[in-house]
Amino acid sequence: MTFSYRALMGFLMSFFLAITMSAFSPVVSGAPFEPMGFAVGVAVGTILGTVILAAFPLIPLSMKYALRCGAPEGSAGWFLLKDVLLCTVLVFVISFVLTWMVTGMDALFVNRLLAPMPLMWVICYVVAVQVEPLCMAIAGKILRVPLPGAPEAAVQDATGREQA
């Protein structure tokens, strides 16, 4: 997996997860929804997630995690399992930074961070499972690379015959 694919996938996935977290975080925490907080959350979450997914091989590690769990590459189980690691890392890191930015670091910080985390993780996981195929298709189209997990296309030589 190339750096450009990881970076573009990181941007797309982070954008959707940042929107989700910024929209649902106030609801889950019992705080009022504020448009400025939403906009800042989307911007910070997208930038942070893009940097994380571009700098660290989290997407390939997520794919390996799904394989280690016994899901064949490209199967429904593989698609469902690979988002577990990705969502866990992104939701925790983005939540940590946004909670720190909005509420500051004090004695109740850990409680404010962890109390909504299980529900936020579930919401983000459902969104990630639904938007990841779209993100993969967009990244594949833009960069003209085959989709990870897709069956390998038959390689043809100049005469049009398949090669082994």
What predicted TM-score, i.e. pTM, was given to this entire model? 0.81
State how far the Cα of 22 lies from the Cα of 24, in Å rounded to an integer: 6
Specify the pLDDT at position 19: 95
Specify the pLDDT at position 123: 95
Enter the tokens of residue 100: 């720190």
29: pLDDT strictly greater than 60:
yes
Higher pLDDT, 158 or 62: 62
The rounded mean pLDDT for the chain is 85
State how far the Cα of 66 lies from the Cα of 58, in Å rounded to an integer: 12
Q: Looking at residues 107-126, what average pLDDT do you find?
A: 92
DSSP of 12-56: HHHHHHHHHHHHHHHHHHTPPP-HHHHHHHHHHHHHHHHHHHHHS
The structural domains of the chain, with segments of one domain joined by +, span: 3-143
User: Per residue in 31-82, pLDDT tens?
Assistant: 888 899 899 999 999 999 999 988 888 888 998 999 999 989 888 888 899 8
Closest to 25 (Cα-Cα) out of 141, 86, 112, 135: 112
